[in-house]
């Protein structure tokens, strides 16, 4: 049904170490109840950034290319 987890960890030590570090950071953040405000971001700033990133992804996926007033088509 698959290899035991210990063999996978021993086979891929760098990835396993990275996952372990990320998991330890996540547990620390959860234990200390660290939020956006503790690291210098407000919820509003973070949310606005996600909205802007979403707009850019949507426009690039739909094939729409914005032309600024300074870039006139020939």
Q: Taking the model in full, what pTM does it have?
A: 0.47
Predicted local confidence at residue 31, as pLDDT: 92
pLDDT in tens, 11-65: 999 999 999 999 999 899 889 988 766 776 666 666 777 788 887 777 776 665 5
What band does 9 get if pLDDT is binned at 50, 70 and 90? confident
For the chain, the C-alpha Rg in angstroms (whole number) is 22
Copy the structure tokens of residue 21: 């570090």
Place of tokens 């234990």: 31
pLDDT at 1 over 70: no
């Amino acid at each position: 049904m698959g290899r035991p987890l210990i063999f996978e960890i021993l086979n891929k030590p760098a990835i396993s170490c990275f996952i372990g570090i990320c998991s330890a950071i996540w547990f620390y953040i959860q234990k200390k109840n660290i939020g956006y405000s503790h690291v210098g971001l407000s919820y509003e700033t973070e949310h606005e950034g996600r909205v802007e990133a979403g707009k850019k992804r949507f426009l690039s996926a739909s094939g729409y290319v914005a032309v600024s007033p300074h870039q006139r088509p020939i």
